[in-house]
Chain A
């Protein structure tokens, strides 16, 4: 079946603008994760969802970052008033449940560049 789908694949925007990144998980996967990959920080966790609720938002770097998930499927990561340090690849992953034994499957990411 189809894998994790993310859009857009690339986004270039000016500092101060808001951006929305979309993740469509594998059908039937209840757990969804957002990660960020940047040159200086490597790959770091942002937030995860179990169904539509987000039990762990501990990785969100500031209150400019928010995420939601509706219908237990598609998730949107929103960054308000973007800054240059937000430039990174944003990766989404899903797994069949939040249990510890399930592997996470990743999308190809959205490459975000803030000018």
Chain B
């Protein structure tokens, strides 16, 4: 059974810092891995999707890497801003559904 873990569970940093959020999964037979952002009371916003054959994806200040063999992904956020404050979820897909981690709650203070 696929299990997805995210570390840390919560993170509070001053504005401007570079951040690394971690995601690990137990079954490396995945199709892809997706990073999401969730704001309070809202749904999920897709940030990046990495196919199983890819090593990384970049979008603006965000960079996600994937090491499928070791069951790990990282989300790197450069020059963090207060607007980045949210819960970040990773999810892996190895069938038709996504299996989610428990999330990292990020707070960036001015």
Q: Is the CB of B100 within 8 A of A43?
A: yes
Residues on A with beta carbons closer than 8 Å to the beta carbon of B98: 33, 35, 45, 104
Q: Find B96's partner among A48, A103, A106, A111 (CB 8 Å cutoff).
A: A48
The prevalent SS among residues of B at the interface is: strand
Q: Is B61 engaged at the interface, CB distance under 8 Å to the other chain?
A: no
Against A, the Cβ 8 Å flags (1 = close, 0 = not) of B14-32 are 0000000000000000011
The prevalent SS among residues of A at the interface is: strand
- Interface residues contributed by chain B, number (CB under 8 Å): 24
Q: Is B102 engaged at the interface, CB distance under 8 Å to the other chain?
A: yes
Binding site for A on B (CB under 8 A): 31-32, 34, 36, 41-46, 49, 51, 89, 91, 93, 95-103
User: In the bound complex, what is the Cα–Cα distance between A4 and B41 (angstroms)?
Assistant: 15
For window 47-94 of chain A, which residues contact chain B by CB distance below 8 Å?
A: 48, 55-56, 59, 91, 93
Residues on B with beta carbons closer than 8 Å to the beta carbon of A101: 31-32, 51
Q: Find B100's partner among A42, A55, A56, A105 (CB 8 Å cutoff).
A: A42
User: In the bound complex, what is the Cα–Cα distance between A24 and B59 (angstroms)?
Assistant: 28
User: In the bound complex, what is the Cα–Cα distance between A91 and B36 (angstroms)?
Assistant: 14
